[in-house]
Chains A and B, each alone.
Chain A
Amino acid sequence: QQQVKQSPQSLIVQKGGISIINCAYENTAFDYFPWYQQFPGKGPALLIAIRPDVSEKKEGRFTISFNKSAKQFSLHIMDSQPGDSATYFCAASMTDAGNNRKLIWGLGTSLAVNP
């Protein structure tokens, strides 16, 4: 049961274009939505995150858009660069019944930015 659905699985964008990756969740108990970036041979690294009380968060060329009513959130990479080529994971976090923070991951999107 995949609680966080991520699309597309892969994405090819031209340099300077906008990359958009979408995620949808089901459980309204999620209260923190991070995006991770993973380069080949490296572990995932926290890129940007948002809480459901805001609709948008921007950090440089990276923006998260959050739609609470639709239970969807997306990552926008403006002016995409070849150095942005990586796998991107969305995730959703909540406190479970045992008072543990649980992180549910999307399956990832492989982004290739052509020069």
Chain B
Amino acid sequence: EAQVTQNPRYLITVTGKKLTVTCSQNMNHEYMSWYRQDPGLGLRQIYYSMNVEVTDKGDVPEGYKVSRKEKRNFPLILESPSPNQTSLYFCASRTGGAYGYTFGSGTRLTVV
């Protein structure tokens, strides 16, 4: 089944404790992206990657890092999480020529 897989689905952590949210897609998509979803603010792009080793900032990159060492994986790293990063996070991918995204099921992160 073609899909984007995120892990974990739920995560509660403490301020300052580094964490990684993994994202993997099995569709050979070139383009991958991370979004956060907050009530009243919709979906905001954090980082995106156009291909292996090519990443760029989205609209809200502060406090996040990403890497794209393999085409299928695009992990999101929070080096020092803070409570304002409590949110619902989505990874998404698409082919270079297509405009429609395939989204993962989300990771609900709570930073206390």
Contacts and interface: CB of A to CB of B under 8 A. Distances in A.
A41 B41 CA distance: 18
Most buried by A among B43, B56, B102: B43
Nearest to B90: A43
A41 B105 contact: yes
Given A41-B106, A100-B50, A100-B56, A46 B42 contact: no
Given A41-B106, A43-B90, A100-B50, A89 B43 contact: yes
Contacts of A43: 4, 90, 92, 103-106
Interface of A: 32, 34, 41-46, 49, 89, 93, 98, 100-101, 103, 105-108
Nearest to B100: A46
Interface of B: 4, 31, 40-45, 48, 50, 56, 90, 92, 99-106
Most B CB contacts (10 A, CB to CB) among A34, A89, A98, A101 go to A101
B99 A44 contact: no
A13 B108 CA distance: 29
Nearest to A33: B99
Nearest to A6: B42
B100 A105 contact: no
Contact of B42 (A32, A34, A93, A107): A107
Contacts of A34: 99-100
